[in-house]
Structure 1
């Protein structure tokens, strides 16, 4: 059995998953590097270690944070293989695509922008806690997630694919999206400020922050239509200056 110390070594090494990324097999070098402590622990003979390392140099590509549950499953499989049992490689291949599809919206499009927005809001108020919150919060979440999911993969083994097929990934993505939209809505109301002096009191009486919310939706719509972010920034700058000059804004 692989002890906890060895499994932790695998997890820390997996943070360098993309350190030797290549166009032929993508993250295979980082994957093999992460597996080395476990392979040395499981196989006493040098020849067996070499064979195991070659086996782990196959094509691999996924989101760098969700490699952990796949590594956990691979560790459990290598244990079985070291005991002489037949093990399929299909689980590893079958997990990397679906997990990558879930991790991108959860991490890149929800968690990281949220922490960045919260950190930026504190920094805008002159607090040094802004960048500290982002750095500490992001890495605490990232490392905690990687360790926990690797342990789940190790304990469940091939059975983890049953949880994936049961809609768990879709539920996680939907939950993260809902939470992300809720927090972003609160940030928009606080920091996106547009005022039209003539009718501002009336608008505030109806829905405070309505113009800022409307501008946010317009920008989102434009981005979906592949309008350049630079073009949007220039357009808002021009509209703002022109509106101020004529007394509208």
Structure 2
């Protein structure tokens, strides 16, 4: 396959426009049949118009080719967009071995591994880490907590996906080696383990469920919370986390519904506690 020089047929403005469209509209017009396909095609449109604008039939064919089912983690998956842009440029230049089937097979072959790595890195590791820092900063109502999370997350996502997009464009098909093979599997597994540890640490630190139940006896008082802490510290928060996981994972209950239920239960619990104290 011939070595490609950057921006032979494309200009920087067109390539950046393709990246911007993918970053902003990767989930546009989603459906179970296509998922991110139309977002991908929309991102490729300025590139394809630049390459095949003088041949309407080729332009139509290329847009149809990039409108088939596609789904991956969109931030890390930006490297596939960059690779596809570079390969389409090579194809327009007549590079040997760069065919329609090759480009489509590359997309299909990478979207699965990248989805696994991206879902492990971003929701499984990056977001819990940033949330734990933001929650620490926001303790006591400090506005720096939410501001840190919003700024840090968007900076990492935007700059990271932009770097991957241009790196994919620069490397072309050679970027495949970064995401397949034994090394990629080991990295994915390590990131998954790290994300699980971070999530467990965040849950243990910030989930609170005290049981202020005290039973007055003749010569002593039984503190239920203290007894539980002596047997199994933070048992109630652990049970709450496991119950939440069960309903979201097994029963497919949305987090919003769980939050509403917990709010109602907490409000009712405080009310019952207030009534009991008022009657004693």
TM-score bracket for this pair, using the shorter chain length: 0.7 to 0.9
Does residue 7 (structure 1) correspond to residue 15 (structure 2)? The answer is yes
Does residue 73 (structure 1) correspond to residue 83 (structure 2)? The answer is yes
- Report SS of the residue matched to 1:172: helix
Structure 2 equivalent of residue 126 of structure 1: 141
Q: Report if the CA contact (8 A) 1:28-1:61 is conserved.
A: yes
Structure 2 equivalent of residue 177 of structure 1: 192
- Would the alpha carbon gap of residues 191 and 54 (structure 1) be closer, same or farther in structure 2, given more than 3 Å must change? closer
- Would the alpha carbon gap of residues 9 and 168 (structure 1) be closer, same or farther in structure 2, given more than 3 Å must change? farther
Structure 1 equivalent of residue 34 of structure 2: 25
Does residue 36 (structure 1) correspond to residue 45 (structure 2)? The answer is yes
CA apart distance, 1:160 = 2.5
Does residue 52 (structure 1) correspond to residue 74 (structure 2)? The answer is no
CA distance in 1, matches of 2:67, 2:205: 50
1:106 to 121, 124, 130: 121
Could you tell which deviates more after superposition, 105-114 or 30-39?
A: 105-114
Aligned CA RMSD, in angstroms, stands at 3.6
CA distance in 1, matches of 2:66, 2:109: 15
Structure 2: any 5+ residue segments left out of the alignment?
1-7, 213-222
Does residue 63 (structure 1) correspond to residue 73 (structure 2)? The answer is yes
Q: Report if the CA contact (8 A) 1:110-1:180 is conserved.
A: yes
Cα deviation, 1:10-49, whole Å, max 9, x if unaligned, reads 1110020111213432222111110122122323414233
Cα deviation, 1:49-107, whole Å, max 9, x if unaligned, reads 33322222222222222331111111121011101234212111111122112222322
CA distance in 2, matches of 1:142, 1:152: 15
Could you tell which deviates more after superposition, 177-186 or 106-115?
A: 177-186
- Would the alpha carbon gap of residues 61 and 123 (structure 1) be closer, same or farther in structure 2, given more than 3 Å must change? same
Could you tell which deviates more after superposition, 21-30 or 77-86?
A: 21-30
Q: Report if the CA contact (8 A) 1:14-1:67 is conserved.
A: no
Structure 2 equivalent of residue 211 of structure 1: 233
Q: Report if the CA contact (8 A) 2:26-2:74 is conserved.
A: yes
- Would the alpha carbon gap of residues 50 and 191 (structure 1) be closer, same or farther in structure 2, given more than 3 Å must change? closer
Larger radius of gyration: 2
- Would the alpha carbon gap of residues 185 and 28 (structure 1) be closer, same or farther in structure 2, given more than 3 Å must change? closer
